[in-house]
Amino acid sequence: MDHLERLENRSIHLLREAYSCIPNLAMLWSIGKDSTALLHLARKAFFGHVPFPLIHIDTNYKIPEMTAYRDRLALEWKLTMIVGRNDAALAQKRTFPDGAVDRITCCRLLKTQALKDVLSGQGLRLKLNHSTGGYEPDPSREPYTGVIAGIRADEEGSRSKERYFSPRDTESRWDLGDQPPEFWDQYKTDFAPGTHVRIHPLLDWREVDVWEYIDREAVPTVSLYYDQGEGRRYRSLGCHPCTSPVESTARTPKEIVAELRTGKFKDIAERSGRAQDLEDRGTLEELRRDGYM
Amino acid sequence: MAVEKGRESLRVVMAGHVDHGKTSLVGRLLADTLSLPKGKLEQVKAFCERNARPFEYAFLIDALKDEQSQGITIDVARIFFKTTARDYLLLDAPGHVEFLKSMVSGAAHASAALLVVDAEEGVRENTQRHGTMLSMLGIRHVAVVVNKMDRVSFREDRFLAISEEISAFLRRLGLEPASVIPISAREGSNITARSELLPWYDGPTVLEALDRFPAEPPLEKLPLRLPVQDVYRFTALGDQRRIIAGTIASGILRLGDEVVFYPSGKSSRVATIEGFPKPPVGAARAGAAVGFTLREQVYVRRGELAVKRGQTPPQTSSRLRASVFWLGKAPLEPGRDYVLKLGTARVPARVESVQRVIDTSTLRVLEGRGRVERHEAAECVLAMSAAIAFDRAEDNVLTGRFVIVDGTEIRGGGLVLESLPDAGSRQRERVILRNIKWQKGLVPREQREARFAQKAALVMVSGRDDGLRKAAARALEEELYRQGRLVYFLGIGSLLYGVGADIRGTAENHEEDFRRFSEVAHILMDSGMILVSTAAELSQADWDIVCNAVEPDRAVAVWVGQKGGREESTNLKPDLLVCAQDKAGVVAQVVALLRAKGILSA
Ligand SMILES: Nc1nc2c(ncn2[C@@H]2O[C@H](COP(=O)(O)OP(=O)(O)O)[C@@H](O)[C@H]2O)c(=O)[nH]1
Ligand SMILES: [Mg+2]
Domain, as residue range, for B404: 315-426
Q: What is the rounded average pLDDT of the residues B29-47?
A: 86
Is residue B17 in contact with ligand 1, taking CB distance under 6 Å? no
Asked, as a colleague might, if the bond just before B218 is cis with ω within 30 of 0, I would say no
Q: Do A186 and B403 touch (CB under 8 A)?
A: yes
B398 and B486 co-located in one domain: no
What's the CATH number where B303 sits?
Answer: 2.40.30.10
Cα A231 to Cα A234, A245, A247, B269, distances in angstroms: 11, 10, 6, 56
B383 and B294 co-located in one domain: no
B161 and B226 co-located in one domain: no
B204 and B270 co-located in one domain: no
d(CA B281, CA A221): 27
Alpha carbon of B183 to ligand 1 centroid (Å)? 12
Q: Touching check for B497 and chain A: CB below 8 Å?
A: no
Is residue B185 in contact with ligand 1, taking CB distance under 6 Å? yes
Q: What is the pTM of this model?
A: 0.86
Mean pLDDT of chain B: 91
Q: Give the fold, CATH level 3, of A3-205.
A: Rossmann fold (3.40.50)
Is residue B371 in contact with ligand 1, taking CB distance under 6 Å? no
Most A-contacting residue of B59, B65, B340 (CB-CB within 10 A), to test interface: B65
Q: Touching check for B274 and chain A: CB below 8 Å?
A: yes
The ligand with the least distance to the CA atom of B106 is: 2
Q: For residue range B105-123, what is the model confidence (pLDDT) as tens digits?
A: 989 889 999 999 999 999 9
Asked whether residue B432 is domain-assigned, the answer is no
Position B564 scores a pLDDT of: 64
Total domains, chain B: 4
Q: For residue range A38-51, what is the model confidence (pLDDT) as tens digits?
A: 999 999 999 999 99
Q: What is the rounded average pLDDT of the residues B52-76?
A: 86
Which chain A residues are within 8 Å of B6, Cβ to Cβ? 2-3
Alpha carbon of B19 to ligand 2 centroid (Å)? 7
B53 and B140 co-located in one domain: yes
Mutate to test the pocket of ligand 1, among B17, B18, B19 (most ligand atoms within 8 A of CB): B19
Asked whether residue B194 is domain-assigned, the answer is yes
pLDDT at residue B3 tops 50? no
Is residue B513 in contact with ligand 1, taking CB distance under 6 Å? no
Alpha carbon of B184 to ligand 1 centroid (Å)? 9
B331 and B472 co-located in one domain: no
Asked whether residue B601 is domain-assigned, the answer is no
Percent of chain B with pLDDT over 70: 97
Helix and strand numbers (H, E) in chain A are: 10, 10
pLDDT at residue B350 tops 50? yes
B330 and B403 co-located in one domain: yes
d(CA A188, CA B312): 31
Strand pairing category for B345-359 and B365-366: antiparallel
* Domain chopping of chain A, boundaries: 3-205, 208-277
Which chain B residues are within 8 Å of A43, Cβ to Cβ? 276-277
ipTM value of the model?
A: 0.94
Contact present, A156 and A277 (Cβ < 8 Å): yes
Q: For residue range B372-413, what is the model confidence (pLDDT) as tens digits?
A: 999 999 999 999 988 999 999 989 999 999 999 999 999 999
The pair phi, psi for residue A214, each rounded to 5°, is -60, -40
Which chain B residues are within 8 Å of A285, Cβ to Cβ? 63-65
Asked whether residue B554 is domain-assigned, the answer is yes
Q: For residue range A166-218, what is the model confidence (pLDDT) as tens digits?
A: 999 988 899 988 899 999 999 999 998 889 999 999 999 999 999 999 999 99
pLDDT at residue B2 tops 50? no
Alpha carbon of B73 to ligand 2 centroid (Å)? 4
Which of residues 46 through 65 in chain B touch A, CB cutoff 8 A?
47, 63-65
Asked whether residue B1 is domain-assigned, the answer is no
B282 and B320 co-located in one domain: no
What's the CATH number where B161 sits?
Answer: 3.40.50.300
Q: Do A180 and B409 touch (CB under 8 A)?
A: yes
Contact present, B238 and B277 (Cβ < 8 Å): no
B278 and B193 co-located in one domain: no
Q: SS3 helix, strand, coil % of chain A, rounded to 5?
A: 40, 15, 45
d(CA B8, CA B216): 9
Give the torsion sign (CA, B117, B120, B122, B125): negative
Using alpha carbons, select from A58, A104, A30 the residue that is nearest to residue A285.
Answer: A104
**pLDDT band of B348, cuts 50, 70, 90:** very high
**R_g over Cα of chain B:** 30
**R_g over Cα of chain A:** 18
Q: For residue range B136-186, what is the model confidence (pLDDT) as tens digits?
A: 998 999 999 999 999 999 999 999 999 999 999 999 999 999 999 999 999
Percent of chain A with pLDDT over 70: 96
Position A147 scores a pLDDT of: 96
B540 and B474 co-located in one domain: yes
DSSP assignment of A118-177 equals: HHHTSS--EEE-TTTS-EEE-S--PPPSEEE----TTS-GGGGG--SEEEE-TT----GG
**pLDDT band of B1, cuts 50, 70, 90:** very low
